Structure 1
Amino acid sequence: MFGRKIPSITTFAKYGPSVPVRDDEIYINTQSGSQWDGLKHYGLRDYNIFYNNTPAESLSQGEMEIHDPTEIDHALVKLGMHNWSNHGICSRGVLLDLVEYYTADGSALPYDPWTTHPLSVAELEACAKKQGVTFRQGDILLLRIGFIQRYYAADNDAKAVLRGGAEVERFAGIEQSEDMKRFLWNNHFAAIASDQPSLEVSGDSDECYRVLTIPLPG
């Protein structure tokens, strides 16, 4: 999805086809599965900078060979995920289950997770109230919007279309608005995660309101 190369495995005969020895080389884009966005994943486009006012041109690109993982040039991995793993992340996870919120009484989900559908601050707050959730500073906000449920209910043709990568992917997600930015900022969440391919609504992006410009560039 989103125009990214799919994971692949290349198997080759290291000493020729007549010798029973095979090696594998694995390619995987870290955005192709469950993962945390690093601080150099998405920056402020108008200023061409990443987190902490880091100029985009100052960060390395291209293939990087790692001969010794203990001796990596810091400049090559600046803003990488390893900086968090050095001390870990410990906080309280808070789940807002939008699917359960809308369907607990037997009603159908009022939106298709595979279409452009913005979820508002009012919906998130109403869901939290119904669940009895009170936000605290440093919480990790987890959103269940319905992608996985939709995926398992889809037939093979629909899944094939999804894997094929449309010109513009469309998924439900949190709305792109000043209200949403204030909601995330004022609640001081340590991190935000979702079961959707994109945290924020995808398909009709307004760069002025990209929610990713709050947690990533900082």
Structure 2
Amino acid sequence: MQRGKKIKITHMGPGGKIHREQGKHPDALETSLAQALVDLSNGSSDPDLQDLVFVGAKEFQGTGENKVIVVQIPLRVIHHYRKVHTKLVRELEKKFSGKVIVFVARRKILPKEKKGRQALARKRPISKTLTAVHEKILEDILHPVEIVGKRIRFRQDGSRVAIVLLDPREQHNVEHKLDALKLAYKKLTGKDAIFQFPVTA
């Protein structure tokens, strides 16, 4: 994107739930998701449901029946999604049967600064580094499950895999989704992860 160029955002789909760059039309999945959000908001007086919008959605399929729909949302509305997350996911997973639903905020990654005076004057915020954004993506995918530990394991071929330890109190609620969540993380970041629950005494 050219510096200083403004991108016009238009409201598309049922209820204007899809916020897209002008000229980029929603596909069948995104239109169906927008309609589902409209139906949910029409059947509820919860103001947080009324304010839900998204910028895109994509379905990924792993081995067997492992399917996940990743819904990308504007960062400015993530607090609305967090407030109704449990109910929203439950209802949407009924609508899109057999598929796990995750919401990931759209965040910007800035390139590493070049050396020199100009770079010092415009230092890149830590929140916009590749590592920081990937950490936030992991948190979004796993929400509301808390990450209680993390370590890196090196394979024999030199590749790395993140071992992510999750709150064991949530094991019953999320264990059946772990393969789909791992798939979402791999597709969005290109990184491998293994989700585990620490053994409690």
Q: TM-score, normalised by structure 1?
A: 0.27
Which structure has the bigger radius of gyration? Answer: 1
The higher relative CO (CA closer than 8 Å, separation ≥ 6) is in: 1
Q: Which has the higher strand share?
A: 2
Larger helix share, 1 or 2: 2
